[in-house]
Structure 1
Amino acid sequence: MGGVTSSSAGGGGGGETALGDLPESCVAEVLLRLDPPEICRMARLSRTFRGAASGDGVWEAKLPRNYARLLAAAADGEAAALEAAEAIPKKEVYARLCRRNRLDGGTKEFWLDKGGGGVCMTISSRALSITGIDDRRYWNFIPNDESRFHAVAYLSQIWWFEVRGEVEFCFPEGRPLKRLGRRVYSSEHIHGWDIKPVRFQLSTSDGQQAQSKCYLTDPGVWINHHVGDFVVKSSNEPVKIQFAMVQIDCTHTKGGLCVDSVAVKPQYLAKKKASRIYFLVRSVKTVQESHSVLSIEVSTNK
């Protein structure tokens, strides 16, 4: 059996074989079986590994099939981006798509998960349809350092609670929190969520549906609430996802709640077989941070 040293230099003396002596094509075959962070670490081993780790063949295998469409979306739909996707080195395409790419006036953003190449998306509360949002007796947008969009929709009190949203996007086929903002509300503002459950709904343009319900209780604890599963059937066809959180029983008021954003994440982050919908729920029980926080998370991780 021939010996292979751990030297990163090429052309080892004394007849020994060094890492730099391995054919770049062989190294590329190894890298194809690694995830992107591992590929970047392996690139440090030798010049041969560095060359293989920059190859288009390695990185194209890590990109979603519809990466050209995603690059165009990141460029705000510019047609030139589709052509650029073929000219740009695939490693650079991957890096560009891993950045936070804003859409629709900054109310949505998407990016590739660096570890697995799946598409994630967040949707600001400003992009949601919220009943009564224009009446400051019920709702206000307030600054919040915890939000990725730097603001949340705060509900003071309302009888008819309804939050809906939708997004249409070419999702690929399945392959620590800061403190809250400075605003403080009395704990007496949190009310009505333990009387009737909130209903969560999901539907897609190709007929998939799911729904569930839960009581928004347990102050001070973040809860990923599973709403339902959906499967992306084609990377080249946009799928429209509609989602809702409602509590429209008008026998009592409810309030003391913030809506932050919606997130869509690929299934492998939850190690499940389909994309999943979750609502992330939190209420705060300390006097200094005494308002409920609800972050709607359409997600695959729990």
Structure 2
Amino acid sequence: MDSLPEDCVSKILSHTSPPDACRFSMVSCVMRSAADSDLLWRTFFPSDYPHILSRALSPHTLDSSSYKHLFFSLCHPLLIDDGNMSFKLDKSSGKKSYILSARQLSITWSTDPLYWSWRSTPESRFKEVAELRMVSWLEIRGKIWTRILTPNTWYEVHLIMKISHREYGLDCVACEVCVAVGNKVAVQSGRVYLCRKDEKKVTKERVLNMEEEVIGVAAKREDGWMEIKVGEFFSGHQDEEVRMSLMEVGYQLKGGLILEGIEVRPKQPS
């Protein structure tokens, strides 16, 4: 490979992945030059990255000294759309992921201070989070268009949340979760517990309707928050609306849920 022109080597490496390119850069000086070139790293970017950068809340925080440096800068969460959404590239594949803030979600009764409060917290990446005071009807909905995602990719949807010390009622009844794409019937539906105090009851059990499954409870994230899986879907190549929801519409009073948002991220290989 050392005998090939640098642009030819870069072209070959563009069919690999960002981690592979970094490994090839350690083979030789010629390979390093090709593996670090803008010609190569530009191929790992999504086609709409200039538009994404134009929406950045603080573009000056990005290292744009080279396409390689810019790529790895975008592997860290970037606030866009006035700070109401977070964008990130997957370091291993260059695929796109987003977090919709609580303000971008449709939350039943969220404008009534008797039921929900909006406040800032230093632990959140967003300006505000929503804290549930008391409701008997919990309904959280979000949507995203596949055109802003990486095409032909399996995505997972996760609710990002915490439970406050004032929690009550969240462990009594399971919530229904659903993900649907376009006009199709739900891609995936099931039931989850936002909180379970009795760990012996935390199981992946079948409910009465055999087509529904209790997916589980919230798990810890690296950023200090908790997450619970809402479902997954395939982005395809057409522009379609993805609808995500979590609902518990019984008569059980509940409170103490702190909602940061919903993340849509590429599904990792098992």
Contact 1:198 1:216 in 2 (8 A): yes
**Matched-pair contact (CA < 8 Å) for 1:74–1:97:** no
Q: Is the 8 A contact 2:230 2:245 kept in 1?
A: no
Q: Which has the higher contact order (CA 8 A, sep 6+)?
A: 2
1:212 is aligned to 2:201: no
Figure out how many residues of one structure are paired with residues of the other and give that number. Answer: 227
Deviations 1:159-191 (A, max 9, x none): 21111121224211245xxxx99xx96x4x322
SS at match of 1:246: strand
Asked if 1:35 is matched to 2:17, the reply is: yes
Unaligned runs of 5+ in 1: 1-18, 78-87, 273-302
Query: Which ranges of structure 2 fall in alignment gaps of 5 or more residues?
Result: 57-64, 154-160, 200-216, 220-226
Q: 1:228 aligns with which of 220, 226, 231?
A: 231
Deviations along 1:196-235, one digit per CA (max 9) or x if unpaired, are 211112112252522111233335984354433311111x
The residue correspondences of 1:1-302 to structure 2 (distance < 5 A) are 22-24=3-5, 27-28=9-10, 31-32=13-14, 34-55=16-37, 58-64=40-46, 67=47, 69-76=48-55, 91=68, 94=71, 97-98=74-75, 100-168=77-145, 169-174=147-152, 187=165, 189-205=166-182, 207=184, 209=186, 210-219=188-197, 222-223=218-219, 225-234=228-237, 237-250=238-251, 252-267=252-267, 269=268, 271=269
Q: Give the drift of 1:71.
A: 2.4
> Matched residue of 1:260: which SS?
strand
Q: What is the RMSD computed on CA atoms of the aligned residues?
A: 3.4
Task: State the distance in 2 between where 1:194 and 1:102 align.
Answer: 33
Q: Identity over the aligned pairs, expressed in percent?
A: 26
Distance 1:94 1:216, change over 3 A: closer
Q: Secondary structure at the match of 1:39?
A: helix
Structure 1 segments, 4+ long, off by >6 Å, are none
1:100–1:193 distance in 2 versus 1, CA, 3 Å: closer
TM-score by length of 1: 0.63
- Corresponding residue SS for 1:141: strand
The one-letter amino acid of 2:246's match is: M
Cα distance in 1 for residues equivalent to 2:33 and 2:9 = 9
Partner Cα separation in structure 2 for residue 197 and residue 110 of structure 1: 30
Secondary structure of 2:196's partner? coil
Question: Per the alignment, in what secondary structure is the counterpart of residue 168 of structure 2?
Answer: coil
Change (3 A) 1:61 1:148: same
- Structure 1 CA distance, aligned partners of 2:77 and 2:194? 31
